[in-house]
Structure 1
Amino acid sequence: MTFYRQIKALLRLSFVICFFILLFIYLDLVQDLKFYLYVILPLILIFVAPVLIIHINYYLESRKVSYEIYKEKIYIIVNDKKLTYHIGEIKEIIFYMTANKLKDSASSNFLYDYYYYAKIIFFNNDETIVTCLHSDNIDQILRDNLNDVDIVKIKTFYPIIPLRRRGS
């Protein structure tokens, strides 16, 4: 996960913010405090805050982990320690995504529709989380390379990764 991947993930949010700023300047709407309270604050709460919360959540989960995914095996690299899991050790892969991402829809209702993650559960009860910050098409990569593993897709309105106890 590189700085470039971070910027790419937040690019849609930047475009929406710039669009609204330019629209408000063009329409000369930014004149009083009531406008900020009634228009801009709700827009920030609806569009910007959820994306930032999910992005930070995914970043905190993914920052020290990288993956190498090959045909029938996966390498998990944590703090320069490389763990190898073969396809026979993987119990299932669970994808958590919004309804639009699940349908692979070209349109989206919210900017966070593009965020999703996969939980890989191993037979020894270990698990790992692979977020879309690692790759835009992590679902396709996992499906193509680990094709004999059970894949479950769960529809969620807000695909945030639940807090986990560290060390477990």
Structure 2
Amino acid sequence: MGGESPLWGWQSGEKRTGFNGLVIAADTDSSLLGYIQLEKAKLGIGNIRTINIQDRNQLHQYQYDLVFLRDVFHHLQNPVAYFSELRSCLKTNGRIAIIDWNERASIFMRISGHYTPEQTILDTMTASGFICQANYHHLKGQSFNIFGFTHPNGNDAVFKALRAKETKETPNKSPCRTD
């Protein structure tokens, strides 16, 4: 979601997904989606489809292994509803990766409102029924979190019990770090 950056997804689609894989470039900007169509034709990349996510029927045409959002989260009007709906589009082991500007972003990003505090993303995804499986802090001024339905080690029962205990002891604390 958020097709403005070819480096992160659609341009490397065949390399990342293999010959039979499919990359969906999704955005709300029709002119950007048109640009992606032209570029993929120029580059001879055949496994990319573009969809306008304002059309929910297009969004639900596929089952996704990975939904990757880069610098999009802060634009979502009702993120809990959005991600709750997106759950039905993910495969059983599907993941959502979110990179967004955070509270350590440049002053311009903070003044313009083009950022989301990382804890807000973690809380939103938990409220949407996802579990934070990993997070990374190597991107300057950005958070990078990966969410799924299950604990990354696969032991959901133990993870849920630990999560319930952690939540009881430290309310609103995410299993992922925000430091």
Same fold? TM cut 0.5: no
Name the TM-score, length of structure 1 as normaliser: 0.24
Structure with higher Rg: it is 1
